[in-house]
């Protein structure tokens, strides 16, 4: 029964977290965005003391429930291990903990976060690693499926779906996601939770706490016949059946051992304090039996109820980038920017780099396709803005709404309109009125702050072509001018970012 409850909760949480990354409309975040905010590392970086305390208390009470239910990467590994188990049953064996790797990687992770090398640390962060895999590998498949439905729906006279562009936002992030997926599949296929108990820094921290958890699997030696079925089905390889010991720092409370024991010699119950020979290995030869009511009281209270959510209604179809429906317009190229452009609400490049886990959630929900993973080694995979496919609309704050670490924080849309994330720079050599001799003014017409004015290029000739002049004090760096500039392949006006955001 306990295993069924655990599996149900894990499947619900895993499905909803995955859909948060697949839902390009951002609709699901209204109801289930809290699932991203209760992930351990994002809560720590956001200084969300309430969530951190909740997860710690949960671990003290019930063990590493977080790893087996809430963490999407842990559930993903369980799914792979389950498929592998169909081919070979009872395949696990007890193995001693590799402490030097566990604590060594945890020390490297903490030091990297402190000194600001987040790009290195987040490579092994569990929630972020899963988010990158979904965004880079699974989301395109999801979007292609959506486009296929949109194709058939349109021909049936329905507009319940609309087409979206499917494109690679970052090649480096794609490669890292592929490598991460391959490593996880190999480890989970062969040895279950090796990643969680050897590499994952969150697993190591929670493992230290779970050694002292109140409720945990306990072996009753008076009933145990030494068959070893519990150890051969322990995906964490933490049960030493011969010595009747369980390494509680590695146990993820999957409940597999409970169902496999034919003698009922292992139960999930309250631990009786004993003198321990080793800090991580507890002998449970005198385990006391408990009543069914006591076991029921120990069941996880955080079980998320299944919710019914509506599919997104008909939305405005994206405009086709064609000239009169006949000739395809040449794609724009990314200009060389002196500084990267960071989302409004990130305060500064330093603050953003320290708090962002590069989970790609904001990249997934950006409706204007402005955000994309960085290829810079110091900020690898953290989102930055570019305006070849859209611009940052003043009425949109999706990235701030979904960010689980508060690396992007906006209190209101009014605040966003007052934040200067960069300023526009005009390139004379690319400007259409000067190169083609035609009137333009797109940049001035669409500037939401009126920071661009069109003036004559030659003060002595009133009928000379008009060119844009940028008021850098009023420009907020939204990128409307750069995106809507007709010049190809490089815009005649582009935005360069500010290291420290300003209020205008």
The per-residue pLDDT for 262 is 85
The per-residue pLDDT for 258 is 87
Alpha carbons 409 and 323: distance in angstroms, whole number? 38
Q: What is the mean pLDDT of each run of 10 residues along the chain (504 residues)?
A: 90 96 88 94 93 96 94 95 87 90 93 86 93 95 93 87 88 94 94 93 94 90 88 91 90 89 87 48 42 44 33 34 52 90 94 93 93 91 94 92 93 89 94 92 94 92 91 94 93 95 90
Taking Cα atoms as reference points, which of 72, 57, 61, 55 lies closest to residue 17?
Answer: 72
* Per-residue burial over 354-384, b = 16 or more CB atoms within 10 Å of its CB, e = otherwise: ebbbbbbbbbbbbbbbbbbbbeeeebbbbbb
The per-residue pLDDT for 135 is 94
Alpha carbons 96 and 330: distance in angstroms, whole number? 59
Alpha carbons 467 and 493: distance in angstroms, whole number? 11
The per-residue pLDDT for 414 is 85
Contact 471, 451 (CB under 8 A): yes
The per-residue pLDDT for 433 is 93
**H helices within 116-218, ranges in order?**
118-121, 126-133, 139-155, 171-191, 194, 201-210
The per-residue pLDDT for 289 is 47
Contact 19, 30 (CB under 8 A): no
The per-residue pLDDT for 462 is 85
Q: Where are the domains positioned within the chain?
A: 1-111+188-270, 413-503
Q: How far is CA 160 from CA 126, 139, 152, 394, 463, in A?
A: 35, 19, 11, 26, 50
Q: What is the dihedral of CA 405, 410, 416, 420, to 10 degrees?
A: -50
Fold of 413-503: Alpha-Beta Plaits (3.30.70)
Instruction: Find all residues with CB under 8 Å of 63, minimum gap 6, and list them.
Output: 210, 213, 215, 216, 248, 251, 252, 253
């Amino acid at each position: 029964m306990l295993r069924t409850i655990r599996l149900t909760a894990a499947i619900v949480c895993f499905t909803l977290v995955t859909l948060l990354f697949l839902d390009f409309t951002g609709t699901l975040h209204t109801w289930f965005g809290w699932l991203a905010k209760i992930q351990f590392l994002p809560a720590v970086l956001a200084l969300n003391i309430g969530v951190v305390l909740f997860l710690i208390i949960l671990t003290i009470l019930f063990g590493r429930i977080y790893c087996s239910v809430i963490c999407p990467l842990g559930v993903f590994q369980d799914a792979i291990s389950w498929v592998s188990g169909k081919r070979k049953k009872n395949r696990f064996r007890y193995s001693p903990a590799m402490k030097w790797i566990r604590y060594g990687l945890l020390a490297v992770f903490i030091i990297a976060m402190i000194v600001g090398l987040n790009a290195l640390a987040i490579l092994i962060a569990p929630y972020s690693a899963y988010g990158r895999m979904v965004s880079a590998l699974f989301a395109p498949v999801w979007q292609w499926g959506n486009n296929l439905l949109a194709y058939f729906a349109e021909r049936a006279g329905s507009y319940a779906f609309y087409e979206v562009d499917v494109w690679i936002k970052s090649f480096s992030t794609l490669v890292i996601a592929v490598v991460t997926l391959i490593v996880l599949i190999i480890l989970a296929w062969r040895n279950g939770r090796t990643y969680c108990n050897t590499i994952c820094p969150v697993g190591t921290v929670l493992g230290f706490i779970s050694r002292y958890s109140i409720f945990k699997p306990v072996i009753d030696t008076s009933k145990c016949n030494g068959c070893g079925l519990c150890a051969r089905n322990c995906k964490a390889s933490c049960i030493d059946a011969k010595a009747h010991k369980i390494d509680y720092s590695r146990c993820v409370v999957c409940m597999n051992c409970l169902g496999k024991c034919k003698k009922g010699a292992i139960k999930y119950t309250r631990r009786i304090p004993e003198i321990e020979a080793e800090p991580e290995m507890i002998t449970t030869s005198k385990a006391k039996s408990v009543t069914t009511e006591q076991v029921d009281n120990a069941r996880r209270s955080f079980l998320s109820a299944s919710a019914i959510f509506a599919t997104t209604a008909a939305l405005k179809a994206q405009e086709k980038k064609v000239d009169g429906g006949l000739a395809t317009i040449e794609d724009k190229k990314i200009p060389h920017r002196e500084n990267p452009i960071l989302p409004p609400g990130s305060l500064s490049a330093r603050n953003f780099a320290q708090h962002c886990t590069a989970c790609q959630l904001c990249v997934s929900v950006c409706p204007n396709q402005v955000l994309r993973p960085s290829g810079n080694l110091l900020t690898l995979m953290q989102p930055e803005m570019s305006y070849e496919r859209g611009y940052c609309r003043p009425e949109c704050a999706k990235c701030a709404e979904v960010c689980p670490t508060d690396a992007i924080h906006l209190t209101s849309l009014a605040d966003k309109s007052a934040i200067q994330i960069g300023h526009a720079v005009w390139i004379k050599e690319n400007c259409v009125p000067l190169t083609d001799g035609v009137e333009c003014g797109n940049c001035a017409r669409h500037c939401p702050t009126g920071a661009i004015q069109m003036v004559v290029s030659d003060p002595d000739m009133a009928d000379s072509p008009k060119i844009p002049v940028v008021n850098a004090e009023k420009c907020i760096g939204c990128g409307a001018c750069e995106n809507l500039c007709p010049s190809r392949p490089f815009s005649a006006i582009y935005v360069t970012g500010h290291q420290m955001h300003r209020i205008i």
